[in-house]
Amino acid sequence: MVGLQGYLVVSAILFGIGAFGFMARRNAILMLISIELMLNSVNLSLVAFNAYIPAAHNAGAVFALIVMAVAAAEATVGLALVIAIIRTRQTPEVDEYHDLKE
């Protein structure tokens, strides 16, 4: 089981955990953390492909670095949005944000 497929299965499990956390948790910051988990699982699969498939020519490692940079940008903007929303609504629980519905 160790080898490329083992890493891919771990990556799939981590992605599932992140997707579950994003859909099920009520806290806005935890939803952002779950997005980070999903991005990390994709990074793990990219690095695993890069390591075990020689024809990749380092593309996986370069993509992993780019995904990290984009994830950092996403976390910055996402946390700024969450803090701005929490400042006006006084709660981090996402199901109490219903202004757009009214």
Partner 1 sequence: MLAIGVVGGGLAVVTLRNVIHSAIAMMICFGALAGMYALLGAPIIAAAQVLIYLGAISVLILFAIMLTQAGDANLPAPFHRQAPIALLIALVVVALVSWAAVTTNWHASADAVRVVVETLANALFTTYALPFEIIGFLILAAIIGAIFIARRPEEDERAG
Provide the binding-site residues for partner 1, judged by CB under 8 A: 3-10, 12-21, 23-27, 29-30, 32-34, 36-37, 40, 43-44, 47-54, 57-59, 61-62, 64-66, 68-77, 79-84, 86-87, 92-93, 95
Q: Which two tokens stand for residue 59?
A: 């593309």
Partners of 27 in beta bridges? 93
**CB-wise, 58 or 101, nearer to partner 1?**
58
- Count the alpha carbons within 13 Å of 18 in the hemisphere toward its beta carbon: 17
**CB-wise, 57 or 101, nearer to partner 1?**
57
Q: Which of 29, 25, 26 is nearest to 97 (CA)?
A: 26
Nearest distance from residue 31's CB to partner 1, in Å?
10
Nearest distance from residue 102's CB to partner 1, in Å?
20
Given phi > 0 = left and psi -120 to 50 = alpha, else beta, which region is 93? beta
**CB-wise, 34 or 100, nearer to partner 1?**
34
